[in-house]
Amino acid sequence: MSTSDSNSSRPIRRGRGALSNMDGRFESLEHEAVDDGWGSADEPLPEIKTTVRIERARSIIVQQRSPDIMFEQSINPYRGCEHGCIYCYARPSHSYLGLSPGLDFETKLFAKPDAAKLLIEELRRPNYRVSPIALGTNTDPYQPIERRMRIMRSIIEVLAQYDHPLSIVTKSALIERDLDLLAPMAQKNLVRVFVSVTTLDRKLARSLEPRAAAPQRRLDVIRALAQVGVLAAPMIPVLTDHELESILEHCAQAGADAAGYTLLRLPHEVKDLFKEWLDEHFPNRAAHVMNLVRDTRGGRENDPNFGTRMRGQGEYATLLRHRFQLACRRLKLNGRSVSLDTTLFHPPKADTPQLSLW
């Protein structure tokens, strides 16, 4: 199967996933590109540089109430993600900021440099109840700007200091930088890492998720980590679904002992951005892809309902689930239940000159 069937001469920005900067659903005005007759559509597109704004958050731990999510609390060091994954379900969140879920989401980023300080304050609250903190559930905490901002590392330093359990989902090799912190935590059963692998096809990966680590580097990350799992996510009908068993097999050979998967989700503006990308890169398969998407979503392009939004429903979704289960059984993935240790946590001491009675 070829990686792309596009014959378009449309200029595409190198290193960016979205093809446009569509308006968010809360905007009062809508912008439309118009041909002015000067042939500008054939000119190279100007480079869009990444900008980072500082967000002064009042709190950092987000409590989760969704019944189909396996964690109770999470932290997002950044808003927006430079990886530029065209399928990212977090893209619509930029609409709440008055920005586009398209190119703005991957070029206009927001960072929370006070995250570690806020985390300490929240961990020392008398009513704080310890449970593993999930990182990477919305945008990748190891996206490229983390190299210089080091917010994720500062969060891990706090959690390591107080023996607080955490889980990480990433598709970046930058996590290897923090092995000096994560390895001792793994020995105490305080950390679980999942590496997201969407495809093993380098060319397809470059188009789907242009600034994320190459598939081979993600396998290297799995080899370097202990207590690591793989997320084959998302599985995209026609484009990546045939790779499911191969992804699981390569990751198991690299050392993964657990696995999960999700089916492509297209909430809000993501469906239009993805269809635009699909028409450009895979015009001959676009209709087939979207027909299967609708088959798994009750005839719609997105299903927001708890319980079905992650895996879909219908014959195709059922077949994909059975393939995943059979592959995991053959590769001995998910053979044991892993619960992180919450008993070692000791909260930070109160920041006060008053002495403790105990």
User: Which domain covers residue 97, as residue numbers?
Assistant: 54-262
What does the pLDDT read at residue 148? 96
pLDDT in tens, 71-100: 899 999 999 999 999 999 999 999 989 999
CA distance 83 to 105: 10
What does the pLDDT read at residue 227? 84
Looking at the structure of the chain, the number of domains it has is: 1
pLDDT in tens, 149-175: 999 999 999 999 999 999 999 999 999
Residue identified by tokens 């889980």 is 167
What does the pLDDT read at residue 353? 53
DSSP letter, residue 14: T
What does the pLDDT read at residue 11? 64
Report residue 13 CA to chain centroid gap.
22
What does the pLDDT read at residue 309? 86
What does the pLDDT read at residue 307? 80
Domain membership of residue 291 (yes or no) is no
What does the pLDDT read at residue 27? 54
Domain membership of residue 217 (yes or no) is yes
What does the pLDDT read at residue 36? 54
Domain membership of residue 350 (yes or no) is no
pLDDT in tens, 288-326: 999 999 999 999 999 888 888 889 999 999 999 999 999
What does the pLDDT read at residue 160? 98
Specify the CATH number for the domain of residue 188: 3.20.20
What does the pLDDT read at residue 345? 98
Domain membership of residue 27 (yes or no) is no
What does the pLDDT read at residue 154? 98
Domain membership of residue 247 (yes or no) is yes
Strand locations in the chain (E)? 51-54, 61-63, 73-75, 78-79, 108-111, 133-135, 166-170, 191-196, 228-235, 258-263
Contact 282, 289 (CB under 8 A): yes
Which residue numbers in the chain have pLDDT < 70?
1-4, 6-11, 23-46, 351-358
Q: Name the token pair of 331.
A: 């590769």
Domain membership of residue 275 (yes or no) is no
Domain membership of residue 143 (yes or no) is yes
